[in-house]
Structure 1
Amino acid sequence: MINSLTVLPLFLVIGSQARNSGKTSFSRKIIRTFGPELIVVKITVISRGHSCPHGDRGCGVCSSLQTPFDITEETDRESGKDTSQLLQAGARRVFWLRVRNDAVARGLRALLKRLDPGIPVLCESNSIVKYIQPGLYIQLKARNRKNTKKSAKELVDRTDLIVETTPDGADFDFSRLSCSEEGWSIKKT
């Protein structure tokens, strides 16, 4: 059962304090560092009756979800979508979990059944940290952005590292990250 005490040391979670903080670019660099050893998961939590997590662009992500959750595996390396870019960067497999906020635990259980055991996972999400204890949880903070989204504020005390990003990327040494059978870790500077 998934609950706040579920320990998943092979999960590296990348969250952000605001939209457009560079999660996909940051994740692509991690994938390039660790190559085809990674499974990547992008999680979009949808709150009915609230604004779209993608900025109300009318993309259909929220309105098209007719069930509590939906899991798709990306197989198209050329579409230009974030999931496609992650696959193109060299990930072994890429999944997208779209889930209503009242079904995150159920969606996560279903997702875990589809993942290969023993394979490290890179996960883009803040909300998932409410349900698991990952090996590492890194939040990205865009320089000069004042607003912090609620999901990030609620989890700042569980964050292992906050990395500042700019439109040019992040000043971060990706060789500080390591993953073993015991899980993800980060070398102190």
Structure 2
Amino acid sequence: MLRFEKLLMIGATSRNSGKTELASAFIKKFSKKNKIVGLKVSTYHINDSNFHGQQSLPLPDKYIIIKESEKSDKDTARMLNAGASEVYWLRTKVEYINEAVNEFIKLIDKTSFIVCESNSLTKFIKPDIFIMIRNNQKPDKDSATEVMKMADIEIISNGEKFVNFDISGIEIDKGKWVLRK
């Protein structure tokens, strides 16, 4: 597993659990003093067709990296609106995830901190911190069950708010994301 410094990863047990809301909160707080890049990763497996909320988009042959440039209500645009210097949506077939991440790394300033939404990426990369949001109103999706044990923090969501999390428990120190003790 590749160690990836300056990366804060956020996953969730189900869709619409607050990943983008939490990512945007981190971006808003830390972009005042640090260059923050937002990243949303969608991985596709054989027989995936209409999930990830974008049924009309074709699956990539290997992967595609899209740089967000518009202000809208899309997840990536919400991260941009929160203060990220750049935001990317990486859509990849699972077997090309390492290649796709290596290509993404070439696109960004090496001094940037990254706030990323992904469950699957955790199988391949060890971030500074991995946060898992558990929505206690919805069943867990398979990709979340596989990576739950890797989480540094588990946050409970009731679908509207986080019930056990204070953002001040995470900071940037000496070039990486850290948990306050």
Deviations along 1:120-161, one digit per CA (max 9) or x if unpaired, are 10010011111111000000011232x212221111221101
Deviations along 1:87-111, one digit per CA (max 9) or x if unpaired, are 0111111000000112111111111
Question: How far apart, CA to CA, are the structure 2 residues paired with 1:182 and 1:150?
Answer: 33
**Residue 160 (structure 2) aligns with:** 168
Determine helix, strand or coil for the equivalent of 1:87. Answer: helix
Shift of 1:168: 2.6
Q: How does 1:139-154 map to 2 (within 5 A)?
A: 139-145=132-138, 147-154=139-146
**Residue 104 (structure 1) aligns with:** 97
Higher deviation after alignment, 17-26 or 176-185: 176-185
CA RMSD of aligned residues (A): 1.6
Q: Which runs of 5+ in 2 are unaligned?
A: none
Are residue 72 (structure 1) and residue 66 (structure 2) matched? yes
Equivalent residue pairs, number: 178
Check the 8 A contact 1:26/1:169 in 2, yes or no: no
**Residue 43 (structure 2) aligns with:** 45
Q: Which runs of 5+ in 1 are unaligned?
A: none
Structure 1 ranges of 4+ moved more than 4 A: none
Check the 8 A contact 1:26/1:170 in 2, yes or no: no
- How many percent identity over aligned positions? 29
Question: How far apart, CA to CA, are the structure 2 residues paired with 1:18 and 1:150?
Answer: 9
Distance change >3 Å, CA 76–CA 159, structure 1 → 2: same
Shift of 1:66: 3.6
Question: How far apart, CA to CA, are the structure 2 residues paired with 1:187 and 1:21?
Answer: 24
Shift of 1:51: 4.6
Higher deviation after alignment, 87-96 or 149-158: 149-158
Shift of 1:48: 3.1
Question: How far apart, CA to CA, are the structure 2 residues paired with 1:66 and 1:89?
Answer: 28
